Amino acid sequence: MRIGIATFPTDYGIRPDTLARAVEERGFDSLFLAEHSHIPVGSALPDGSGLDRRYYRTLDPFVALTAAAATTRTLRLGTGVALLAQRDVIHTAKQVASLDLLSGGRVVLAVGTGWNRQEMRHHGTDPRTRGRVLDERIAALKEIWTHEVAEYHGEYVDFGPIQQWPKPVQRPHPPVYIGGHSPAALRRVFAHGDGWFPLDTSPEEFRRVRVELAAAGRDQVHLNAPGDPEDPAAVERYAQAGAHRAVFPLDVLPHDETLRRLDELSEATAAFRDGADG
């Protein structure tokens, strides 16, 4: 089982280059960074609870991952998740391809629709159609990455013909993981996801999804389980259910506290880790 780390890159926590080096040195295979462009004043989480400062003090994930790439050799560099439904797709295609080139082909793009409806509206995205927008932008990304002359003509994305370089190092393109565990997110995984990146699910749900993916001829989809810092041994149940990686959340902490927490997670998961790539 591969073990990854997911966190919010911020201006008050550990630097992303320092974090990435520490994550790689401790045997983790991947680092996934969250994204919010901004947080509208007065926002709350979907359960109604308030937001702490990590949500509105995040660094740009692609800038942070570029810094992470410069200090690591093998670490997979992921978004967790990029809010593609509120991003310009042509700029995003270039950012991801550039990072994949500079990192030697280590990028994983996990994407989602997002949950903050006002944040979406500030970007011109109608929350009611964000799922369809995301589907078209995923398809458009792949067109740009895999064609010398690309074009896409959809209801929400319409451009071309265009030329854009660099192309990603990974072929045919960096893996695109689908974030979330809603029925809509799972439909997206089955339709065109290279991986599944849920925030909350169970080993039983993993087993069901794996079986259904295999029956649909999609058994190559990479399944990422949510790691539980309070119960690290749960990764074994996810592995038995078909998960390829467990991703553990890491709180935003100062430098020394972050390293201590990584040491604890490394020790707690050492028995379940392997070095496979993916």
Tokens (6 digits) for 135: 């589907």
Q: Is residue 277 part of a domain?
A: no
Q: What is the average per-residue pLDDT within 175-181?
A: 96
Burial class (CB in 10 A: 0-12, 13-18, 19+), 92: buried
> What burial letters (b/e) apply to 11-43, b meaning 16+ CB within 10 Å?
eebbbbbebbbbbbebebbbbbbbbbeebeeeb
Cβ-proximal residues to 260 (8 Å cutoff; 6+ apart), any chain: none
| Lowest model confidence (mean pLDDT) among 91-105, 119-133, 168-182, 232-246 | 232-246
* CB contact at 8 A, 84 and 92: yes
pLDDT higher than threshold 80 for residue 206: yes
Q: Is residue 278 part of a domain?
A: no
**DSSP symbol at 183:** H
Amino acid found at 203: P
pLDDT of res. 273: 82
Model's pTM, two decimal places?
A: 0.96
Closest CA to 222 of 181, 188, 182, 175: 175
Quote the domain boundaries for residue 118. Answer: 2-272
Closest CA to 201 of 187, 186, 214, 216: 186
Handedness of CA 230, 235, 236, 240 (dihedral sign): positive
144/134 Cα distance (integer angstroms):
15
Considering the chain, what is the average pLDDT of its residues? Answer: 95
Q: Are strands 222-226 and 195-197 parallel, antiparallel or unpaired?
A: parallel
Q: Mind listing the pLDDT tens digit for each residue in 40-67? A: 999 998 888 889 999 999 999 999 999 9
Burial class (CB in 10 A: 0-12, 13-18, 19+), 102: middle
Q: Is residue 260 part of a domain?
A: yes
Q: Is residue 97 part of a domain?
A: yes
Q: Is residue 238 part of a domain?
A: yes
State how many domains the chain has: 1
Amino acid found at 193: G
Give the confidence band of 276 by pLDDT, cuts at 50, 70, 90: very low
Q: Is residue 130 part of a domain?
A: yes
* CB contact at 8 A, 93 and 7: no
Cβ-proximal residues to 184 (8 Å cutoff; 6+ apart), any chain: 113, 131
Q: What is the average per-residue pLDDT within 197-214?
A: 92
Query: What CATH number is associated with residue 130?
Result: 3.20.20.30
pLDDT of res. 272: 87
